[in-house]
Chains A and B, each alone.
Chain A
Amino acid sequence: MPMLRWVAVWRRNLRVWRKLALPSVVGNFGEPLLYLLALGYGFGAFVAEVQDMPYLMFLASGIVCASAMNAATLEGLYSAYVRMAVQQTWEGILATPLSVRDVVLGEMAWTGTKAVINSAPILIVAAALGAVHDVSALWVLPVMLLLGLCFGAMALVVTALASSFDFFMYYSTLVITPMFLLSGVFFPLSVLPAWVQGLAQGFPLTHAVAVARPLMSGQPLEAPWGHLAVIAAYGGVAVIWAVWLLRRRLLR
Chain B
Amino acid sequence: MSGARGLPLPPSAAAEAVVRAAGLTKVYGGIAAVNGVDFTVERGECVGLLGPNGAGKTTLLRLILGNTYPDAGALEVLGLPVPARAGEMRARLGVVPQFDNLDPDFSVAENLRTYGSYFGLGRAALAARVPALLDFAALTERAEAKISALSGGMKRRLTLARALINDPELLVLDEPTTGLDPQARHLLWRRLRELTVAGKTLLLTTHYMEEAERLCDRVMVMDRGTILASGSPADLIRAHIEPQVVEVFGAGADAWLAARGAGQVERSERVGESVLCYVREERPLLDALAAEAGLRFTHRRANLEDVFLKLTGRELRTAS
Contacts and interface: CB of A to CB of B under 8 A. Distances in A.
Interface of A: 1-2, 5, 8-9, 11-12, 15-16, 19, 87-89, 91-99, 250-252
A96 B115 contact: yes
A9 B166 CA distance: 17
Contact of A8 (B68, B99, B102, B120): B120
B103 A87 contact: yes
The 3 closest A-B pairs by CB, nearest first: A88-B101, A96-B118, A95-B95
Given A99-B87, A252-B68, A15 B114 contact: yes
30 contacts: A1-B120, A2-B87, A11-B117, A12-B103, A12-B114, A15-B106, A15-B114, A16-B106, A19-B105, A87-B103, A89-B101, A91-B101, A92-B102, A92-B115, A94-B65, A95-B90, A96-B91, A96-B115, A96-B166, A97-B87, A97-B88, A97-B91, A97-B119, A97-B120, A98-B87, A99-B87, A251-B67, A251-B68, A252-B28, A252-B68
Contacts of A12: 103, 114, 117
Interface residues of B, number: 27
B97 A95 contact: yes
Given A1-B120, A11-B117, A95 B106 contact: no
Nearest to B119: A96
Nearest to A13: B105
B263 interface: no
Contacts of A5: 118, 120
Contacts of A15: 106, 110, 114
B104 interface: yes
B118 A93 contact: yes
B118 A97 contact: yes
B67 A92 contact: no
Nearest to A250: B67
Contacts of A19: 105
A16 B118 contact: no
Nearest to A252: B68
Given A88-B101, A91-B97, A251 B90 contact: no
A94 B66 CA distance: 9
